[in-house]
Structure 1
Amino acid sequence: MSEMWSYNPESHYTPGTSLAGFKVEATDGHIGKVDEETEEVGSSFIVVDTGPWIFGKHVLLPAGTVVRVDVKEKEVHVNLTK
């Protein structure tokens, strides 16, 4: 269960990298931007600001849902659908 709350080594996430402001892409399209994040061992997550997409909500996603971090494009890809 703790792997859900830890970044996957294959995601190319480097500890200490700020993801704030990165675009968040689901398997079926854009869902928002990273508002905040944590790097706590076994309890890491990102908070996504969905903007007007679902009435401006903030959604907490466990770090284990992150499949790829693209620092060059400032994108975080998650293995979830909208």
Structure 2
Amino acid sequence: MTEHVWSYKSTSGHLAGADLTGYKVEASDGGIGKVDKHSDEVGDAYLVVDTGVWIFGKEVLLPASTVIQIDPEDRKIFVDRSREQIKNAPEFLRDKHLGDSGYRDALGAYYRPNAPFGAQPMV
């Protein structure tokens, strides 16, 4: 079960209802882009990050559990994955995957705690 993957950690500093759009997102080894869309629904919280030129203008979907800290003063969000781990996640296509429960399950399995690095579930 991957439901906890779609919830913010209590230590992240996330405040329900806060608008995170435009916040910069920092992986453990550098910036990856800015939040384009987010959800803080209980059990379905995520960030859609526009990676700009980093991954050729693609977007990535990050489950809320990857967030370790939100800094509202500097408008930054820190996640507990490396740039390579994020880049190697199952490809995200907003129009196809945002409401797709199968994709959500696959992505949740990829980002679940203690998932082996590079584990790529079928999408």
Q: Which runs of 4+ in 1 moved over 3 A?
A: none
Q: How many residue pairs end up in the alignment?
A: 82
Equivalent position of 1:55 in the other structure: 56
One-letter identity of the residue aligned with 1:38: S
1:37 and 2:38 aligned: yes
Cα distance in 2, alignment partners of residues 12 and 41 from structure 1: 15
Larger RCO: Structure 1 or Structure 2 (Cα < 8 Å, ≥ 6 residues apart)?
1
Cα distance in 1, alignment partners of residues 73 and 4 from structure 2: 26
Percent of residue pairs bearing the same amino acid type: 49
More strand by share: 1
Deviation for aligned residue 1:2:
1.6
One-letter identity of the residue aligned with 1:66: V
- Normalised to the residue count of structure 1, the TM-score between the two structures is 0.97
**What RMSD over aligned residues (CA atoms) do the two structures have, in Å?**
0.6
Equivalent position of 2:14 in the other structure: 13
Equivalent position of 2:93 in the other structure: none
Which structure 2 residue ranges, 5 or more long, are not aligned? 84-123
Equivalent position of 2:79 in the other structure: 78
More helix by share: 2
Cα distance in 2, alignment partners of residues 39 and 53 from structure 1: 26
Deviation for aligned residue 1:81:
0.4
